[in-house]
Amino acid sequence: MNRIETVFSQLKSQNRAALIPFITAGDPDSATTVAIMHRLTQAGVDLIELGVPFSDPMADGPTIQRSSERALKHRISLKDVFSMVAEFRKSNQSTPVVLMGYANPVEAMGYRNFIQAASQAGVDGVLVVDYPPEESAEWVRNLKEQNIDPIFLLSPTTPESRIKHVAELASGYVYYVSLKGVTGASHLDLHEVGNKVSQLRSHIRIPIGVGFGIRDEQTARSVAEQADAVVIGSRIVEEIEHSPAENLLANVGALVESLRRAIDAKSAL
């Protein structure tokens, strides 16, 4: 069993939903990113999505765009991202790390080099926003050979036929984008999310995470009642953006602890 499967099977036995934070690697700088990752695990997260900064993040709203721009000011490259993961792995062998980003940095490095470096650094899954299943056959095969999970997105506009296709390719978990829009938007329809997650369950055997538009404890808790994992990105990235350096870890920690409590409250219902 790999780290992602282990985490989800433990949570399942405890009837708890996973809390998955997203942060951008290199925001505000490389050293702080590793410290934030450790602080996140102390605060009780189950898996970390680490964003690979890109100059043209088309699926992201302004908050995550700015985090990418901050990271790119330090010229953060994929090599730097792998170093951060390797550094994190020196003292954490259990928390899965999923890289999330766009195709071109992967293309520039080459599939095989990328996958080899990811495997060596201790990466558990990869989500490339602009590699849809149709363009991904070889990519998925190569990832799976190295025991790295290809994570795919599903959206409110995904028809049933495609859900089946994604179900065949995906491993680890699938990431349901809970609204039509970019990251950080705020018009989440919880009822619709519930319906769609039930529909997904009839085709998808692996855990279902829900993200985009989850900004507060109450929404996180409601989503946790329906999904196997709650993904929170922009809200945490905002905290990183607005915190003075000396309070950054404490603020992020406090925010994530409150989200953790909200999510766990669902199993106590």
Partner 1 sequence: MKIYDLPDKRGHFGPYGGTFVAETLISALDELCRQYEHYRNDVEFQTEFFQELKHYVGRPSPIYHAKRWSEYLGGAQILLKREDLNHTGAHKINNTVGQALLARRMGKRRIIAETGAGQHGVASATVAARYGMECVVYMGSEDVKRQATNVYRMKLLGATVIPVDSGSRTLKDALNEAMRDWVTNVSCTYYIIGTVAGPHPYPMMVRDFQAIIGNEAKQQMQEEYGRQPDALIACVGGGSNAIGLFYPYISEENVRMIGVEAAGKGIDTHEHAATLVTGRPGVLHGNRTYLIQDENGQIIETHSISAGLDYPGVGPEHAWLKDCGRAEYVAVTDDEALAAFHALCRFEGIIPALESSHALAYAAKLAPTLDKDQLLLVNLSGRGDKDMATVAEQSGISL
- Rounded to an integer, what is the distance from CA 96 to the centroid of its chain? 10
Least CB distance from residue 116 to partner 1, whole Å? Answer: 17
Q: Is 160 in the site for partner 1 (CB under 8 A)?
A: no
CA contacts within 13 A on the Cβ side of 141: 3
Does 163 engage in binding with partner 1 (CB under 8 A)? no
Q: Does 188 bind partner 1 (CB under 8 A)?
A: no
Q: How many residues bind partner 1 (CB under 8 A)?
A: 42
If one asks whether residue 35 binds partner 1 (CB under 8 A), the answer comes out as no
Neighbours of 187 (CB within 10 A): 9
Is 149 within 8 Å of 171 (Cβ atoms)?
A: yes
Catalytic residue from among 5, 27, 29, 60: 60
132 contacts partner 1 (rule: CB under 8 A) = yes
> Does 88 contact partner 1 by CB under 8 A?
no
Q: Which residue has the tokens 């790999």?
A: 2
| Among 47, 109, 170, 240, interactor with partner 1 by CB under 8 A | 109
Is 5 annotated in the active site? no
Does 228 qualify as catalytic in the annotation?
A: no
188: nearest Cα among 196, 176, 180: 180
Does 180 participate in binding partner 1 (rule CB under 8 A)?
Answer: yes
Interface with partner 1 includes 67 (CB under 8 A)?
no
Which residue, among 179, 267, 211, has the nearest Cα to 220 in the 3D structure? 211
The residue among 81 and 223 lying less far from partner 1, judged by its C-beta, is 81
Minimal distance, residue 247 CB to partner 1, in Å:
27
**Among the candidate windows 4-12, 37-45, 131-139, 194-202, which touches partner 1 by CB under 8 A?**
131-139
Among 14, 91, 134, 268, indicate the residue that binds partner 1 (CB under 8 A).
134
Catalytic positions, written as ranges: 49, 60
Residues that bind partner 1 (CB under 8 A): 54-59, 61-62, 65, 69, 72, 75, 77-78, 102-109, 129-132, 134-135, 152-159, 162, 177, 180-182, 185
